[in-house]
Every structure is written in structure tokens, then in C-alpha cells.
Amino acid sequence: MRAVKEFTKGFWRENASLVLLLGMCPTLAVTTSAFNGLGMGLATTAVLLGSNVIISLIAGIIPKKVRIPSYIVVIATLVTLVDMFMAAYAPDLHSALGLFIPLIVVNCIILGRAEAFASRNSVFYSFLDALGIGLGFAITLFVVGAIREILGNGTLTVFQYKETLINFVIYHKETIKPITVFILAPGAFLTLGFLLALKNYIDNLIKN
Amino acid sequence: METRSFKVSYSPHVHNGASVHKIMWNVFLALVPATAVSVYAFGINAVRVLFVSTFFAIFFEALALLMRKRDWKQCFDGSAALSGLLLGLTLPPGISTPIIMIGSFVAIIVAKQVFGGIGSNPFNPALTGRVFLLIAFTEPMTTWPLPRGIEQAKNYLGLATTKTADAITAATPLAAIKEHASKAMPNVSLNDLFFGLHTPGSIGEISVLALLIGAAWLLYKKIITWHIPVSTILTVFVIATITHFLSPAKYPHPFFHMFAGGLIIGAFFMATDYVTAPIWPMGKLIFGIGVGLLTIVIRLWGGYPEGISFAILIMNATTPLIDKWTVPGPFGSKTLRRQS
């Protein structure tokens, strides 16, 4: 089943952050809490869905030489839409992610999928590809954010919208000192590095 | 015709018998005076910190070697134990045991084994562990119990209270300087800093005298050369002298900068680490000057009171570059160039 394969590859085999090592900037920068990571991942997924579908539709009429600028125009339009929607309906998340929402425009995942997949595949498969890659990316960001938040702050924020806040306290900061470095930049690199190592380790286990 | 072939092995042909084991044991020996002073000054707490850091360094080394399917007995080659001991010597004596374990983990797993184990680490493991802890646990890492019990502590602080306490903490001389400019530390004499029994600080850095005895042993045994320590300390001294004479009220005495904090232990025991320091004499001098410069700049104008650990780590990053730049020409190449 090709459809199933195109959809599931993004979660593990071609995971954007852990295998393709694309989209490192959001992976490292906005994952200070689990929910921030998830929000960033879902925003990227939304843009990716739109861009993959539109680009696979218009791929036939784009001249080869200006294809990258054309993709950027499509992506930038969608990012602006997502940016404005978030500002209107999820202002907290919007202010937490800040500059990194406009930066989705230059996210390598989106441009990479447009160039490598959407421009040479049908709309249906491009849609599934975008959904799989995007959700895989969102889950990875959620996991990175969860690890960093638990280690660095002692909490796990699963959902945060206006007054609704689903927030687990893993341990109390008064009794156990959190490793604050994990919500700073070095913690992002360490977490990602160890996750990469873990993924390769599991892959090796499966292979043998 | 008979052709004779000689089997010639790769250089070096003459070996002085040095081995990882031997070098590490000599460094251990050199650290004995400093360790003894710290145990005398801080008591059982220093023993605890040093034991935990060393033990878990060896433990994590063995664990990493097992995971990498290497011979796990390599963990007893002394390098992991030395990293652990040096890490313990850079920690404040009152620090809690789990934090030391995390420090050992970062030092051995993150800073050393991830890069390929002994000889492959770009950054000094002990200092990486320390800096990680400093950023991760800022408060416990900057709480300094005073050495030698409560009575001396009261004298040091000029306290007249008779209140009982388990321990008294105070700022290290460098931290006090950072907070209140140099006038606020009238009680710190250079003698105190030199012998190190009355000033708070990391376990290993308090006594300059003990460290210098160890350093002399290393130099005598030719484990280290003079280039890095001398250029580091001299750079700090020169800049401290200049700033002190420009503005004596604002910047402390150059000898204060020389004896306070971790400059001596850093310059002799950490910056000279074989793996992370340049090889050639010229490179060593550049490296040392860089360390000294960064140290004094962080101390005088930076956000942290002590900068030697950051300075050494930053200069570690430049080591490959310095090594490439300072390769000496082959014997005779200079005269040839002059003639042509």
C-alpha cells in the first residue's frame, strides 16, 4: 500500500528532525516546553499541508528556473495566514513562539518536501506525505519539549489555551532542584543529541 | 648480489617508558597536597565530594565502554578517575551528592565518551562537568561553606554572634570583589589566600601553596611543560597590574588575582591536559595567553566572578586551529629559506 507508506514514513523512517535533520532551528529554539513544541509542530504541519497540496497542483505550470522563488511565495502566503490565525485565536502561543512562526517560511522541511516530493507526485500522495512528515515533526518537537521541560522546570504542559491549562507537576522545585540548563540553549542540543543516539540505537536493535 | 632489508618500525623509536597509567598516577601524586589541605580544611565533606565524583566517573566510564563494546577494564587506566578527582576539586564542598553524580555523568559521558573516549575529547571533561553544573545548579554551585569550622569562620567574617550553626557560608574572595569592589574585603590577606585555610572556595583551589608543590612535581617529572601555566598566570598578572595601577580603588591587587580563585589549579592542572591543549611550544604559549586573557576579562568585566573554567573551555575549542598554525618547520628548513 503506497498510501500507508507515504503517510507513516514521516513518523520514524524519515522523521524530519531525527533522520533528515531538517528544521533544526525550531527543534532547538522553541522546545522550552512540551506545549510550545507541539504548537510549533502543528503550525508547521498546517503550512506543510497547504504548501504540498498547492505546489503539487501547480508544479506543471511553474518554469523550472524560478521554481524555488515560486515555492517561497506559496509558503510565505500560507505562513502569513497561520501567523494571523494564531495571533487571533491562540495569542499566548503566538507570543511564546514569537519570531519563529514567520521563520517557518525558511523551514527546510517545507521547502525540502516541496522540492523533493510535492513537485513530482500527485496531490493525494503529497497530502499524505505532508500529514505524515508534519505530524512526525510535531511529535518529535513535543517529545524534545517534554524532556526539556521535565528536566529543566519539573513540569509538563500538555495544553494551554486562554484559561485552560493542563499542566502536570512532575516534581516540586523545592524538593528536587531542576537542571535549569535544559531549558536554555545547551539543553536543547544535549536533548536532541541523546534522542538521535537513542533512535539510532533502536534502529540497530531492530536491524539485528 | 645479496640485498639486505632492515625492518624499521614507525617512529618514535626511543620510548621513555611513559604510559597513560604512569602519567595519570604522577598527576594523582601531584594532587595529593591540595587534596590533603582540602580534607584538613573542609573535613569529611571534602572526602565525600571527592569520593563520589571519582567513583562515579569510573562507573560511568565503565558503563560507556560497555555500551561501546570496548574492554570495560579500560576504566581503570586512571584518566576517568583523574577527570573525576579534578571535577571534585572544582566543586564547592557543601554540594549535594546527586549533583556531583550529574557532574560526573556530564564529564565522562557527554564530554568524553560521546566524542570517542580517551584522547578524542575536544573539551576538558572535568571542566565541562563543572561548567554544566554551574549553569544548571547556579545556587548550590555558588554556596561556599567556610573552611575550618565555626570559630574561624566567625573571625573571618568578623561576627561576634554566639549563635550555633552547622556551617557558615560566605562569598569567595572573587565573588565578594565582584559584588562590592575591592574595599569590601579587608579581612582577606594574601597570606590567607596563599595557604588557603581561611578563605572559602572550591575544594581544590583554596591552597596555592599545596597546588604549587604539586605543580613543581609535575614540572620535575616533565609531565607538563612550563609554557601554558607561566603564560597564563603572567597574562593575568600583567593585565591585573595595569588595571590596578590605573584605578586601585576599583581593581584589586595583581597578587590577589594570582592567588584567588582557580587560576593556579586551572593553569597547572587543567589547561595542561594533553588531549585538549596544543602540542608545540609556540602553540602552548598562544593557548596560555588566551586562557589568561579570557580569565582576567571575565573576572574584571564579565558576569561571573571566576572565569578560568570558561577561559580554558573556550581556548580548548581553538586548540586544533592553534596546532595547525604553529607546526614547527623541519630541522634546517629556516636556514635554507634564508639562503635562497
**pLDDT at residue B204 greater than cutoff 90:** no
| Whole-number pLDDT of residue A81 | 93
Average pLDDT over all residues of chain A: 88
CA–CA dist A97, A43 (Å, integer):
10
- Cβ-defined contact of B132 to A182 (cutoff 8 Å): no
Who among B114, B136, B139 is closest to A179 (CB)?
B136
Least confident of A140-144, B42-46, B153-157: B153-157
Query: For residue A7, what pLDDT is reported?
Result: 86
Helix A34-58 vs helix A67-89: angle between axes, to the nearest 10 degrees? 140
Q: Assign B133 a pLDDT band (cuts: 50, 70, 90).
A: very high
Confidence of residue B141 (pLDDT cuts 50, 70, 90): confident
Torsion of CA B256, B259, B261, B267, to 10 degrees: 130
User: What does the alpha-carbon distance between residue B122 and residue B112 come to, in Å, rounded to a whole number?
Assistant: 8
Instruction: Give dist(CA A21, CA B185) in Å, integer.
Output: 52
Closest CA to B142 of B111, B180, B182, B176: B176
To the nearest whole Å, the CA of A43 is away from the closest chain B CA by: 31
Interface test with A, best of B109, B110, B142 (most A CBs within 10 A): B110
* pLDDT at res. B166: 57
Burial of B28-54, coded b for 16+ CB within 10 Å and e otherwise, reads eebbebbbebbbebbeebbbbbbebbb
pLDDT score, position A143? 92
Percentage, residues of chain B above pLDDT 70: 85
Taking only the tens place, the pLDDT of each residue in B109-131 is: 999 999 988 888 899 999 999 99
**Chains A & B: contacts with CB separation below 8 Å:** 20
In the stretch 79-138 of chain B, residues with CB closer than 8 A to chain A read 99, 102, 110, 114, 132, 135-138
Residue found by looking up cell 521535565 in the block: A150
pLDDT tens across B76-114, in order? 888 899 999 999 999 988 888 999 999 999 999 999 999
**Which residue is closest to A177 within chain B, CA to CA?**
B137
Q: Is A182 on the interface with B (CB under 8 A)?
A: yes
Q: Are A61 and A165 in contact (CB under 8 A)?
A: no
What is the arithmetic mean of pLDDT over A95-116? 87
Whole-angstrom distance, CA of residue B177 vs CA of residue A115:
58
- CA-based nearest residue in chain B for residue A173: B137
ipTM for the predicted complex: 0.81
The 10s digit of each residue's pLDDT in B28-39 is 999 999 999 888
Nearest of A110, A191, A145, A189 to residue A30 by alpha carbon = A145
Contact B136 A190 (CB under 8 A): no
Q: Examine the pLDDT at A74 and tell me if it is beyond 50.
A: yes
pLDDT in tens, A77-91: 999 999 999 999 888
Indicate whether B154 pLDDT > 60: no
> Residue range B322-326: average pLDDT?
88
Q: Give residue B291's pLDDT.
A: 94
Res. B187: pLDDT tops 60: no
Mean pLDDT (chain B, rounded): 83
Helix, strand, or coil (residue A94): helix
Q: Which of B101, B113, B114, B128 best tests the A interface by mutation, with the highest count of A CBs <10 A?
A: B114
With CA atoms as reference, the chain B residue closest to A185 would be B135
Q: Residues of A with CB below 8 A from B140's CB? A: 177
Predicted local distance difference test score (pLDDT) of residue B157: 57
Q: Indicate whether B241 pLDDT > 50.
A: yes
Q: Do B136 and A193 touch (CB under 8 A)?
A: no
How many domains would you assign to chain A?
1
Strand partners, A166: A159
Kindly list the domain boundaries of chain B, sorted by start residue.
20-141, 145-188+196-200, 224-321
Contact at CB, A177 and B99, closer than 8 angstroms: yes
* Alpha-carbon separation of residue B19 from B15, B183, B239 (angstroms): 10, 49, 38
Residue B17, Ramachandran bin (φ over 0: left; ψ between -120 and 50: alpha; else beta): left
Residue A1 CA to chain centroid, in angstroms? 26
Q: What is the pLDDT of residue B6?
A: 73
Residue contact A179–B110, C-beta within 8 A: no
Interface residue A91 vs chain B (CB under 8 A):
no
Enumerate residues 6+ apart whose C-beta is below 8 A from A48: A109, A110, A113, A130, A133, A134
Q: Is the pLDDT of residue A135 over 50?
A: yes
Q: Judge residue B218's burial from the number of C-beta atoms within 10 Å of its C-beta, 0-12 exposed, 13-18 middle, 19 or more buried.
A: buried
Judge whether residue B165 has pLDDT over 60. no
Nearest CA in chain B to A176: B98
H or E stretch covering A165: strand A164-169
Buried b (16+ CB within 10 A) or exposed e, A133-171: bbbbbbbbbbbbbbbbbbbbbbbbbeebeeeeeeeeeee
pLDDT at B201 over 90: no
Above pLDDT 90, what percent of chain A? 38
Is A179 close to B140, i.e. CB distance below 8 A?
A: no
State residue B340's pLDDT score. 47
CB A59 within 8 A of CB A124: no
Answer whether A155's CB lies under 8 Å from A121's CB.
no
B96: closest chain A residue by CA: A177
- The residue range of the domain holding A113 is 2-207
